[in-house]
Amino acid sequence: MKNPIRETLAAGRASIGSWLNLASPLSAEVMAAAGFPWLVVDTEHAPFDLQLVAHTFRAIEARGAIPLARSWDQDPVTIGRLLDAGAWGLVFPHVSNVEQAASLARAMRYPPDGTRSMGTGRCTTISPDYRRDINAEVLCIPQIEDMEGIDQAEAIASVEGVDIGFLGPSDLALSMGVEAGHPNHEAALQRFREGCKRAGKPSGIPAGDAESALRRIAEGFQFIDLTNDLRFLESAARQAIAAVS
């Protein structure tokens, strides 16, 4: 088994996916069929239970895309259950330091590389060699959302088993007491990107539209979350009703 996201990033290319916040397997299938190569099931902010997560993973896979998830916490039990359900990688919100990042990276992998528990889950249907291969293919993606994490960006990205550094710009702005786009906020985003680059790891960031995504790619960000299913629906609905009103 090979993770195509990992291969794209290793080749130095940008990988553009999206987020799922409608808690709908059908929405996930539509997004994957539209051409997104990976989709993140947002269990932090959207009303997904674990069974719905598994159904959403199936919908993503059915259209040839890679399912990821944003975990609702950093508990090793949660991590194991999301991976057992079939996630090829996990985004972890509110990671601020090296100790957190190292613990998460180990919780995602089977011994001897980590502490993940072995069991019979849906994940074992992905490949007959799942347990042998997944440690090298799974993606550990800490999300930095405060200045402590920005200050430690290079150290966090350098942790063995951390694969991508990802930003949470909105919560970062809240923690800084400024609006997103403020010069100090933008400077922090770029400090993070530069820290990941020094560590030899790709950096990621959400982008609200195609123009923003292209700008971030030009700056050097590689792992791009191009908005989410809820925002795509909202935007199209607003445009349509405005056009006929």
Per-residue buried b or exposed e for 217-242, using 16+ beta carbons within 10 Å of the residue's own CB: beeebbbbbbbbbbbbeeeeeeeeee
Q: Which helix (H) or strand (E) holds 29?
A: helix 25-34
**Placement of tokens 């925002």 in the chain:** 231
User: 203 and 165 in contact (C-beta within 8 Å)?
Assistant: yes
Active-site pick, 45, 55, 182, 185 = 45
User: 182 and 139 in contact (C-beta within 8 Å)?
Assistant: no
Distance CA 228, CA 212 (A): 14
At 14, phi and psi to the nearest 5?
-80, 145
Distance CA 119, CA 156 (A): 29
Q: Mark whether 94 is an active-site residue.
A: no
Query: How is 84-125 classified by DSSP, letter by letter?
Result: HTT-SEEEESS--SHHHHHHHHHHTS-TTT--PPP---GGGG
Catalytic residues: 45
